[in-house]
Amino acid sequence: MNPIVVIGNGVASVAAVEAFRKYDKETPIIIFSDEPYHAYYRLRLSSLIGDTLNLDKLYIRKPEWYRELNIQVRLDNKVIGIDTEKKSVVLENGDTVFFSKLLIASGSSPFVPPVPGADLPGVFSIRSLDDVKRFNDYIANKNQGAVIGGGLLGLETAWALAKKGKKVQVDVTKRFIAWDTVADIDGTIKGYNIYHNKDDKDEKISTVTATEFEIPEGNL
Ligand SMILES: Cc1cc2nc3c(=O)[nH]c(=O)nc-3n(C[C@H](O)[C@H](O)[C@H](O)COP(=O)(O)OP(=O)(O)OC[C@H]3O[C@@H](n4cnc5c(N)ncnc54)[C@H](O)[C@@H]3O)c2cc1C
């Protein structure tokens, strides 16, 4: 029987194959990932900014988990084509693999605003472990930078950089942010309460204490 093929090896893929294996322990499963690592918690990436990476702490499931469940993971193998009639996928290395069922769990990628300079060296978006590695290498001897986007991830990144002693400017528009500043009695900014919805104060999701942020006047 042809295997079940899964494109992508993120949390969605792991959850899907784990659920499937509860009912079917036999059908071969092959997961293709274009990354060189087993599935890891992407949401922990912000906390690794400026730090050394410990893969063992990041894995959603240890590599042996896949073996125990009889799941073949082919890392560094990008799927570049799907033929739904022949029921096959084509890999970047030219191989063709036939499937009985196909699951596409390929995630998404960050939206980079189409502004001049977005492709210059030193402009990063962070989605993967390799992005963090490249970013960390780049910032090692830099002291200041800007984060575009004041949502949760933007603030997490700014906070991680601020903790490393970098001077960070957060650029936001009102549309993207829902927060309150938390100020001392003398008006010194102590941090930000972040809301899903600025008009609904019951929906507070977190407080970021970020005294080192520099918020450009007029941008809030
Ligand atoms: C820094 C950061 C912080 C986050 N924090 C939070 C949070 O606090 N809370 C929250 O809910 N969410 C958070 N998220 C979002 C969350 O990580 C994603 O929603 C989640 O990872 C989506 O999982 P997924 O399995 O659908 O896709 P992904 O995790 O994106 O996995 C998809 C995988 O498929 C691979 N792939 C894509 N195309 C191909 C191809 N053609 N061939 C082979 N492989 C392919 C990709 O490289 C990737 O490895 C955060 C994300 C980031 C980047």
What would the 3-class secondary structure string for the chain be? Answer: CCCEEEECCCHHHHHHHHHHHHHCCCCCEEEECCCCCCCECHHHHHHHCCCCCCHHHHECCCHHHHHHCCEEEECCCCEEEEECCCCEEEECCCCEEECCEEEECCCCCCCCCCCCCCCCCCCCCCCCHHHHHHHHHHHCCCCEEEEECCCHHHHHHHHHHHHCCCEEEEECCHHHCCEEEEECCCCCEEEEEEECCCCCHHHEEEEECCCCCECCCCCC
Say if residues 105 and 13 touch (Cβ distance below 8 Å): yes
How far is it, in rounded angstroms, from Cα 82 to Cα 73? 18
Cα–ligand 1 centroid distance for 156 (angstroms): 17
Say if residues 100 and 86 touch (Cβ distance below 8 Å): no
- Give the total number of structural domains in the chain: 2
Q: Which of 150, 186, 146 is nearest to 169 (CA)?
A: 146
Q: What pLDDT does 176 receive?
A: 42
Q: Which of 46, 128, 25, 34 is nearest to 74 (CA)?
A: 34
Q: What pLDDT does 190 receive?
A: 52
Cα–ligand 1 centroid distance for 47 (angstroms): 16
**Which has the higher per-residue pLDDT, 63 or 54?**
63
Domain boundary among 49, 78, 104: 104
Say if residues 49 and 156 touch (Cβ distance below 8 Å): no
| CATH number of the domain to which 36 belongs | 3.50.50.60
Domain boundary among 76, 104, 132: 104
Q: What pLDDT does 220 receive?
A: 32
Say yes or no: 99 and 10 in one domain: yes
Does some domain include residue 17? yes
Say yes or no: 155 and 93 in one domain: no
Does some domain include residue 125? no
Question: In terms of residue numbers, what domain contains 148?
Answer: 143-208
Q: What pLDDT does 199 receive?
A: 57
Say yes or no: 87 and 160 in one domain: no
Does some domain include residue 217? no
As a whole number of Å, the end-to-end CA separation of the chain is: 59
Does some domain include residue 188? yes
How far is it, in rounded angstroms, from Cα 154 to Cα 179? 13
- pLDDT tens sequence across 156-198: 888 888 888 887 777 665 444 445 555 555 545 455 555 555 5
- pLDDT tens sequence across 68-119: 999 999 999 999 999 999 999 999 999 999 999 999 999 999 888 787 888 8
Q: What pLDDT does 197 receive?
A: 52
How far is it, in rounded angstroms, from Cα 138 to Cα 130? 12
Does some domain include residue 136? no
Say yes or no: 90 and 172 in one domain: no
Q: Which ligand 1 atom minimizes the distance to the CA of 157?
A: 1
Question: Using CA positions, which residue lies closest to atom 15 of ligand 1?
Answer: 43
- pLDDT score of 213 more than 90: no
Pocket (CB within 6 angstroms of ligand 1): 7-13, 32-35, 42-43, 45-46, 78-79, 105-107, 126-127, 153
pTM: 0.81
Q: What pLDDT does 193 receive?
A: 55
- pLDDT score of 200 more than 90: no
Does some domain include residue 178? yes
